[in-house]
Amino acid sequence: MLHPSPATYLRLAVTIAVLIAFSAALGADERVDPPSGEIAGNPFARERVEWHVVPAAVELAATLDTLAMIPVSDWPGADQIEVWRLTATADAEFERIRRAGRLSMIVAGLGHYANGSFATAAAFAAADALIAATGLVLVGLALPPAVHPRNVDYLQRSFLEVETIWHDVTPIELLPATVVAVAFAALQLTVRGFAASDAEWTTLDALRSGRIRVQPRTMVHSRR
């Protein structure tokens, strides 16, 4: 049987360390400077879009400011309808933004694709696929020789034979492959989280520019 050389284990350890460090950098929380409102810190992270910044919510806030000096019971009917319309529209816009984020958490880039940002969607999807493929390859390389696909023809073995082979492997022998799998899972989750946040901001920009539009529902639902 072929046994990996010490240099192989060293390269594997360095790769794992780099991936963990990169995951930590991507996942680091950003901070917002209150006086200026500018985002500082990690350039890879982006805060999630909040309800009050969607276009209809901004317009609703301005409308309510103009009506603040008038008792609600004295609001003209047209203003009441406008407040209802803006609230319903803001809810619909916010739900569209959140849906884009949820889609990209499932598959990186899917939220961008739903909003017509095909190049960005392809870039995120390619990065997601590359991370998954690289992780699978490195996990395979980190498997102990007794269960490595190079040494065991799984297609020609029965289930009981495979079970016996794996039963003889100790947890310590599986530790390198486990660490690699966890590191790549964390990296993939971090990239999908960044893709989700970016998809939300991309959707917000599309709503502001009028590139996409939403129709308010007939009833106003409470914000989540």
Q: What is the residue-wise DSSP string for 13-44?
A: HHHHHHHHHHHHHHHSPPEE-TTT--EES-TT
pLDDT at 126 over 90: yes
Predicted pLDDT at 31: 41
pLDDT at 33 over 60: no
Q: Point out which residues pair with 32 in neighbouring strands.
A: 39
pTM of the model as a whole: 0.69
Predicted pLDDT at 6: 53
Q: What is the dihedral of CA 97, 103, 108, 110, to 10 degrees?
A: -90
Q: What percent of the chain has pLDDT over 90?
A: 25
Average pLDDT, the chain: 77
Long-range contacts, 46-51 (Cβ 8 Å, 24+):
46/194, 46/197, 46/198, 46/201, 47/197, 48/101, 48/197, 48/200, 49/94, 49/97, 49/101, 49/200, 49/201, 49/203, 49/204, 51/90, 51/94, 51/223
Query: Which segment of 56-60, 149-153, 202-206, 211-215 scores lowest on mean pLDDT?
Result: 149-153
